[in-house]
Structure 1
Amino acid sequence: MKLLIGGYTKKKATGIYELPLYNSDKGLKVELGTAKEIIKIGGPTYFVQDQDLIFTINNAGDKGGISSFQLVDGAYQEKDSYLTAGSSPAYIGIDSVKHLLYTANYHTGALAVFSYTAEGQLTLIDSVTHTADTLGPRPEQVDGPHPHFFDETPAQNLVSCDLGNDCVDFYRLQNNKLEHLAKYQNEAGFGTRHIVFSPDGNYFYVVGELSSKVNVVQFNEKDWTFNNIATYSTIPDDYTDHNGAAAIKISHDGKFIYVSNRGHDSITVFAVKEDHTLELKQRVSTFGEFPRDFNWDPSEQFVVATNQNTDNATLYKRSAKDGCLTPIQKDIYVPEGTRVLFSE
């Protein structure tokens, strides 16, 4: 098992790094090894993998977009790029069965769908640009729409989260064209960032970056009705310093929700009750500053959070029973990390 971490390349980082995850002390202890650069590229703040292919955000100076790399004879080779003038996207999602990629560009307001081949060749299928329909009141919102997420729903429609417009938009890709289906509006100033869905596909949990909240919503993906269940803070009530909620994950069994907090520098753990309301279980430190992303291995036994500002990561053991995280390795050096992905 390996860990891949990418992020900004403004200071020390130069691309995507690989860290081995191995057993020591006769298998009684799991540790992460030393980070080694495997792909040299500008600003791989988000990336996805399909077997021997890696698709990553590429900040190429005055151009931005995505690039593909393929593992050939033990080394990653660049296969293709799709770059345009201006800023790079903030998010890239993947459907490895359909060979589709989904990108959200925070700065330009654009959502895009790409196809890819087994050799990593990229083709733009369609794109749409959000308009300033419901801009929120916060300084980060008044300059326009800011989609921060674009990926598939349980029924394989598409969903985007727009921080500027405080909303979740649903689309369908039909005849290679994106068709808007529905919109769910969060409260003003929520800062809609990322979203996860319950295993049964009847609920979603959307995190607000600017509000540091999680909104639980019941929805029907056939008639597009929405029922706002409840909203929960990811930070303590008495915490008054700046915080930006970032990544949100849901366990495969649907019993636990996890959110990273940049500012409070923690991961908040919620238990999902039978009525899909949430119960706070834990707020655990990330032992660094500005944890934009975290992720777990396929078994969900281990979690790694990376701290962008302090160039370090933390490895946790996860309890499947109560969802709580126990740190088992701290101060793992990784420069400017913003994306965490376990790899076989």
Structure 2
Amino acid sequence: MIYLGSYGTQILSWPSRVGYPCPSPSFLALHPTQPVLYAVSEQEGGAFIAFHLGEAEEARAVKTGGSSPCHVAVHPGGAMAAVANYADGSVALVTLDAEGLPAGELLVHRFSGSGPNRERQEGPHAHFAKFVGDQLYVVDLGSDRIHRLDLAANVLGAIAFPPGSGPRHFAGGRPGHWFVTCELDATVRGYREEPDGSWTAAGVLKASSSEGLNYPSHIECSSDGGLVYVANRGPNSITVFAADEQAGLTRVGEVAVQGAWPRHFALYGGYLYVANQDSNNIVRFRIGDSGLPSDPEQLLNLDSPSCLLPCDDARAVW
């Protein structure tokens, strides 16, 4: 089962095509043990919404303490979720009860800072959140940083990126290896984590071989950490990189996504699924032995798809 987020009016499951009414559910997440699906409603007064799987009506919703929430992550222990509010650059920590539903007061941290790109970096823009152990990493496109927080929303430090690079999403490869898409300078960057938690740059490459404008979006690694996949908006492609033992990158190939503006993708069950936001379509590719996507198949049309969330069969029937 795959749950599909969008800038439309519902979350859609595929292949069952069951809908969960929700305004602009731009990003989704699952509870690690409970049959609960989460969405952020990316609006000016955005919300964090929980659904019981298989039930269309929302189970509980709370405001996110900020504007235009665009990403949500759930702690592996299941007691907390984090929401990145893009417009005002804040992050909210949401307590989850034993059933996986939001409960209690939000912990909200508001970042500050800006960057040299006056159109996109006039202030902080939290774009992505990820729990790494018992720390929360928040990617701030507006100030060219990844902030590190504890679970009480206290800032522990930050990883700085080149001014104007605009980090967007990041993914982990082999242990201690991190890879980041930078939207504003159209690069993908590799890093090694040091014992003190700092990151050492291991290399940087253009995310696409295209000469035109590119705004890289999502990034994921293969299960063994040896390959890195990056979506390119503008060139409308997926680039595959090989990652070496030092987190250095080598370009393997680049494949057209059979659509426009690939906002998100997911690796699942030997396939790569792409959400093409501007062409309103979901495309599936087979992943061959080389790691390159091939044999594109048009799966379905969906207004402004923005997120793909795979769910194993056992969870999906709950």
State the TM-score, normalizing by the size of structure 2.
0.91
State the match for 1:113 in structure 2. 93
Deviation at 1:152, TM superposition (A): 1.1
Letter in 2 for 1:326: S
Partner SS state of residue 153, structure 2: strand
Point out where structure 1 has 5 or more consecutive residues left out of the alignment: 21-34
Aligned partners of 1:160 and 1:169 also within 8 Å: yes
Deviation at 1:256, TM superposition (A): 0.6
1:123 correspondence with 2:104:
yes
Distance (Å, rounded) in 2 between the aligned partners of 1:184 and 1:292: 24
In the superposition, relative to structure 1, how do residues 179 and 49 fare at CA in structure 2: closer, same or farther (>3 Å)?
Answer: same
Equivalences for residues 109-258 of structure 1 within 5 A: 109-117=89-97, 118=99, 120-132=101-113, 135-153=114-132, 155-173=133-151, 177-200=152-175, 202-220=176-194, 222-236=195-209, 239-240=211-212, 242-258=213-229
Q: Show CA shifts across 1:106-157 (max 9, x none).
A: 101111111212152433441211111xx2222333420111011112x332
Equivalences for residues 1-344 of structure 1 within 5 A: 2-9=1-8, 14-20=9-15, 36-50=17-31, 51-59=34-42, 63-71=45-53, 74-83=54-63, 87-117=67-97, 118=99, 120-132=101-113, 135-153=114-132, 155-173=133-151, 177-200=152-175, 202-220=176-194, 222-236=195-209, 239-240=211-212, 242-297=213-268, 299=269, 301-319=270-288, 321-330=289-298, 332-343=300-311, 344=313
Deviation at 1:314, TM superposition (A): 0.7
State the match for 2:316 in structure 1. none
Aligned partners of 2:126 and 2:142 also within 8 Å: yes
Partner SS state of residue 329, structure 1: strand
Deviation at 1:217, TM superposition (A): 1.3
Deviation at 1:322, TM superposition (A): 2.1
Percent identity (aligned): 24
Letter in 2 for 1:152: F
In the superposition, relative to structure 1, how do residues 279 and 124 fare at CA in structure 2: closer, same or farther (>3 Å)?
Answer: farther
Distance (Å, rounded) in 2 between the aligned partners of 1:37 and 1:87: 28
Point out where structure 2 has 5 or more consecutive residues left out of the alignment: 314-318
Deviation at 1:306, TM superposition (A): 1.0
Distance (Å, rounded) in 2 between the aligned partners of 1:245 and 1:111: 22
Distance (Å, rounded) in 2 between the aligned partners of 1:204 and 1:195: 7
Partner SS state of residue 79, structure 1: strand
State the TM-score, normalizing by the size of structure 1.
0.84
Structure number with the higher strand fraction is: 1
